[in-house]
Amino acid sequence: MKKIQQTLVIIKPDGLIKSLTGNILTALSETKLKIVGAKILKVPKKLAELHYGELKYKKPEVFPSAIKYLMGGFHTNRVLALVYQGLNAVNSIRKICGPTNPEEADPTTIRGRYGRINSKTGVFENVIHTSESVETAENEIKLWFLPEELCERIFKTKKIIKTSEKFIWV
Ligand code: ADP
């Protein structure tokens, strides 16, 4: 059954340094899904490690380089994180992105078109991350975005009173 879902997309540092943002967003717009959150950020180590928490156990040999890659150690230290919402969002986006290994990806997919295996580091520089299931999507969106950063209240929230230091415009 087709369902309204949300999924996390990250245009990785190689996508940004290669000026692929426009091309990638255009390719993703074929899905007719709605963007409900977007931000550009420098990925802190803690966020990268939490994001790849499972990779640490599933593929320990690539974990350090995947962290370095996401934090910008090979390209530029920025990523564009987005939340897409709509019918079958998870699989629709995954299909357009293609599989992890860009050499195995169909050349019409984003990873097949723009990715490469770095011959020096062996890293799959596949320009984009997307959530692999509805469950991981929810965890990843909650990790990358605060409720107030999304234009729809897609998951349950609770109100807390918090005092903290932050920068404001002067
Ligand atoms: P995906 O990003 O498709 O969900 P994984 O979570 O397994 O894939 O891996 C995270 C990232 O680590 C990949 O996107 C890729 O950049 C890198 N990576 C994964 N497996 C390999 C590998 N065998 N060799 C080199 N890099 C890899």
Q: Find out whether the beta carbon of 55 lies less than 6 Å from any atom of ligand 1.
A: yes
User: What does pTM read for this prediction?
Assistant: 0.96
Interval 125-150: pLDDT, tens: 999 999 999 999 999 999 999 999 99
- Sorted by where each starts, the structural domains of the chain and their CATH numbers stand as 4-149 (3.30.70.141)
Q: Taking a C-beta distance cutoff of 8 angstroms, is the pair 127, 25 a contact?
A: no
What is the CA 84 to chain-centroid distance, rounded? Answer: 11
Q: Is the CB of 56 under 6 A from ligand 1?
A: no
Round to whole Å and give the CA distance between 86 and 90: 9
Task: Please tell me the distance between residue 140's alpha carbon and the centre of ligand 1 in angstroms.
Answer: 16
Q: Is the CB of 64 under 6 A from ligand 1?
A: no
What digits encode the pLDDT tens for the residues 47-106? 999 999 999 999 999 999 999 999 999 999 999 999 999 999 999 999 999 999 999 999
Annotation says 129 is catalytic = yes
Give the integer Cα–Cα distance in Å for 156 and 104.
38
Task: Name the percent of the chain in helix, strand, coil, to the closest 5.
Answer: 35, 20, 45
Please tell me the distance from the alpha carbon of residue 127 to that of residue 54, in angstroms, as a whole number: 20
Tell me the CB-side half-sphere exposure of residue 26, using CA atoms within 13 A. Answer: 5
Please indicate whether residue 59, judged by its CB atom, sits closer than 6 Å to ligand 1.
Answer: yes
Residue of minimum CA distance from atom 11 in ligand 1: 66
